[in-house]
Amino acid sequence: MKVNYIETESTRKVVHILRRYTDKPIEVKDLAEFVRHPALSHMANYLGSAKEYSNKIEVHLNFTKSEDVREAVFVHELLHIVLKYEGFPGIALRTDMVRFLQPSIAQVLENLRDRFQSTIGHLQVYKREVTDFSLSLDLYFEELVRAKIHRFGQFSYKPHAKDAEYFFQIQQDILDGLDYYQFPNPYSQKILAIFRETCPEGFAACLALHEKTEKISYSTPPLAYRCADLVRNQIIKYGYKKNVGTPNQLWSALNVLRNAKEIPLEKG
């Protein structure tokens, strides 16, 4: 690990867990540097991210955030990678469909894939963050809730604009919303109340989907696969019902793989 990173009991613990599966070096970088690439600019306000390459693991931390937040993000990001090694499902792009897309659309699709991959991971990651580590998570969840509220504010939910774009946004809100149920309280209640108020339509569809995934549970890789597959299919079904049209094909271009390890890694 690079300098300017503080080792704590929790960060050591998550690295120890990861070391059961891989001895790839872990590099900590400044998120601001990583998102300089124009295709990644939408990530500038993220709390962090991680990317696994064939030869290393990179964790990107937002150094404008407090130490507590960075510690929680480090654990969070490595837990995503641990899940992969444990055999949890992955989301892949259907290359046969991607080939025919304009670069800007392909970028939207890639972003969608990343968010889908994150969301299905979060059904486990948030739980483990709370129960398996001694992290101070208050600031972290406050930041997360703030970021989600900001995202709600960016999109217009005016009822007269019920076009394809509107419902495509709601499909994404349904996906994001599954996350909110995994936050500990009071953060979960707070963001869900705002979701319900801002976008009642998306909230209702998300709640119905949440209840279904909760019944299956996300506790083992095979069950998690069933959940992820269900989420994808329900979102596509919602798109058909609402005549989302072309954007709905983006969801169809996402494949749920039984095991995230099947997705090839780039060299870093």
For Zn ion, which residue of 11, 49, 118, 213 counts as binding (CB under 5 A)?
118
Output the residue with the shortest Cβ distance to Zn ion: 118
CB under 5 A: which stretch of 32-40, 117-125, 214-222, 240-248 binds Zn ion?
Answer: 117-125
CB under 5 A: which stretch of 62-70, 110-118, 206-214, 233-241 binds Zn ion?
Answer: 110-118
CB under 5 A: which stretch of 41-49, 116-124, 184-192, 241-249 binds Zn ion?
Answer: 116-124
Can you tell me the distance from the alpha carbon of 9 to that of 131, in angstroms, rounded to the nearest whole number?
Answer: 14
Can you tell me the distance from the alpha carbon of 257 to that of 64, in angstroms, rounded to the nearest whole number?
Answer: 35
In whole angstroms, how close is the CB of 247 to Zn ion at the nearest point? 24
Question: CB neighbours of 23 closer than 8 A, spacing ≥ 6?
Answer: none
Classified as helix, coil or strand, 93 is strand
Judged by beta carbon, residue 62 or residue 118, the one nearer Zn ion is: 118
Cα 154 to chain centroid distance, Å, stands at 19
Q: Report which residue type is found at 1.
A: M
In whole angstroms, how close is the CB of 242 to Zn ion at the nearest point? 28
Q: Report which residue type is found at 77.
A: E
The site for Zn ion, by CB under 5 A, has a size of 1
In whole angstroms, how close is the CB of 177 to Zn ion at the nearest point? 15
Q: Where are the beta strands (DSSP E) in the chain?
A: 26-30, 48-52, 57-61, 90-93, 254-257
Note the residues at the interface with Zn ion (CB under 5 A).
118
